[in-house]
Structure 1
Amino acid sequence: MLRRKKHHTHISRSSFMTQIASNSLRPSESRVTFVRSFRDTTVCLPKVSGFRRALFIILNEPNSSLLSLVLSYLSFAMIIVTTVSLVLESMPLFNYTPDNCGDPEISVELCKPVPDIAFEYIEVTGTIFFTAEYALRIATAHAATEQELHLSEEEDPDEKLPGWKKTLRYAMQSMNVIDVMAIVPFYLEFFGAAGGWAAVLRVLRLVRVFRVLKSPKMRACVDMILCIVAEALPGIASVFSLTCLVCVMFASFLFFAEGTTYSVTHRPDLYPLGVYIRPTANGLGFEPTPFKSILHTFWWFFATATTVGYGDHVPTTTAGKLISIAVFYIGIVLVAIKLTIVQGSFRRHYPKWRLHT
């Protein structure tokens, strides 16, 4: 039976997981140490020297203290609220037409429905929050260590990076670039610099939902998915190459079955120079064929082989229907092979993810 000691050494969660992986802690010791470590790191402030470094850890590491955990939940709630607000803002129910729109001197542009003012207040509040949080992280990044900044050192590990270089490399990380992309559109619109790209910039604000990937569990999940994709990509690429060869073959078959009959008498008012035709679906007449070339027929092949079946381009001849039946079964086999490759990679990486989360 393991006895609890009055004095224990505090370790971070990352150090704890490293020791578990290297088997330097016994299972019974690891459980007690983890409970104590979690209790210590979530109740008190980060035990580091320097106000700026402590502030950076509070903003960047959700599990470092109770305050950082609260800020993490607040940031997540703000992301959800601003995202839902942007979605609801697009609904006609929450848009109104200006009162003076009935004036004949008012242009059509001024009569365009506008969202309720409450959505603007929500967006302004969220932008101020995210701007302040981002500015504080960038302003205090120079005080953090390379490990706390999650920087991968390509130089001598014993060499200390200057503060400006640490800040620059931290700002260039993907998650921080996403933060900038979510903030800048608001200021471009506010200062009238959006021009004709206002609608596009408003959509770019939605990239802030990717901020949820900063949480340790979500980050580990994304890492697992990236590993699965990287491992399965060669196999998927091989199957896709085979799919392209099959696509060219069956698209050619369907093109010659549906799109090679040329007529100069079909609707001369619309097609004075003639048009390629095929039988109609009921077989009582003719219509212009949608399969104008083998390249145009590629769309039909992928929509059919993946069993999506949009129905915008369908064969009407007997030969075309028989070709489509063959594509049904070939497409199912090709999709099943890809899913099997991904499933194999998933079964290898999922237990590792469960072990570390």
Structure 2
Amino acid sequence: VLDALTLEDCEPRAFPIFAQIEVVCIAIFTVDYIFRVCTVHAVPPSARRSGLEPGLGRDPRSLSLMFTENLSFSEGFSRTWNYARQPLALVDLLAIVPFYVDAVSKAMGQESVLGQAAGILRLMRVLRLLKLARGHKGMKMYVDVMRMSGQPLLILMFFDIIIVVLFGTLMYYAEGTEFSVAAEWTAP
């Protein structure tokens, strides 16, 4: 039985349900991103600067006034462009684009370079967690501590990042992408 093992038998495979969950999540994130980009021109700059959601906690009449602002095309486009260039909006875009790049490269039968680049860009999804931590009290305390501690902590973080990247790269190359089915590892 052990002699019949092949390379494909030893490669790790995810359960198919994870692919379905990914498709649903990417669809939701895509619709959310498109709606935000398409409607951001309607939100006045004063509401964006204050961090208030349009109409929440305000007089209901102000909600209708807020969205009746007459904008020229160039001003609306400028607002949309400024929003799309913000770091968190770019993180959202970079989190969903790899899925579509991967899907297109598979459909075209060219999974080599595009698929690998999409795999690297998928790591950007982790940066979405920064959006969740933005309003948390613990995160605010962390930011205050970082401001007070200043330069020594920044130097420590810099070296930590270098070490993480270095050892992560070493682990990637040490593990490789090929799986061995040598008899000494599969025999009882």
Separation (CA, whole Å) in 2 of partners of 1:148 and 1:194: 44
Matched, 1:211 2:124: no
Closer, same or farther: CA 116–148 of 1 in aligned 2, 3 Å: same
Choose the corresponding residue for 1:146, options 28, 45, 52: 45
Q: Which residue of 2 aligns with 1:124?
A: 23
Q: Which residue of 2 aligns with 1:231?
A: 148
Contact 1:213 1:222 in 2 (8 A): no
| Structure 2 letter corresponding to 1:202 | G
Separation (CA, whole Å) in 1 of partners of 2:47 and 2:112: 40
Alignment of 1:334-345 (within 5 A): none
Separation (CA, whole Å) in 1 of partners of 2:103 and 2:155: 49
Q: Which residue of 1 aligns with 2:118?
A: 201
3-state DSSP of counterpart to 2:147: helix
What is the TM-score when the length of structure 2 is the normalising length? 0.52
Q: Which residue of 2 aligns with 1:316?
A: none
| Structure 1 letter corresponding to 2:90 | V
User: 5+ residue gaps in structure 1?
Assistant: 1-100, 103-107, 152-159, 240-298, 300-357
Once the two structures are TM-superposed, the CA of residue 183 in structure 1 deviates from its matched residue by: 0.4
3-state DSSP of counterpart to 1:149: helix
Q: For each residue in 1:111-152, what CA deviation from the matched residue of structure 2 results, as whole angstroms up to 9, or x when unmatched?
A: 85543322111111111010000000000000001133349x
Give 1 or 2 for the bigger CA radius of gyration: 1
Once the two structures are TM-superposed, the CA of residue 194 in structure 1 deviates from its matched residue by: 5.7
Q: For each residue in 1:241-271, what CA deviation from the matched residue of structure 2 results, as whole angstroms up to 9, or x when unmatched?
A: xxxxxxxxxxxxxxxxxxxxxxxxxxxxxxx
Q: Which residue of 2 aligns with 1:134?
A: 33
Q: Which residue of 2 aligns with 1:165?
A: 78
Closer, same or farther: CA 227–125 of 1 in aligned 2, 3 Å: same
Closer, same or farther: CA 164–221 of 1 in aligned 2, 3 Å: farther
Contact 2:102 2:114 in 1 (8 A): no
- Quick check: which one's helix share is greater? 2
Number of aligned residues: 127
Contact 1:142 1:163 in 2 (8 A): yes
Once the two structures are TM-superposed, the CA of residue 176 in structure 1 deviates from its matched residue by: 0.9
Q: RMSD of the alignment, in Å?
A: 3.8
Separation (CA, whole Å) in 2 of partners of 1:213 and 1:164: 27
- Quick check: which one's strand share is greater? 1
Q: Which of structures 1 and 2 has the larger relative contact order (alpha carbons within 8 angstroms, sep 6+)?
A: 2
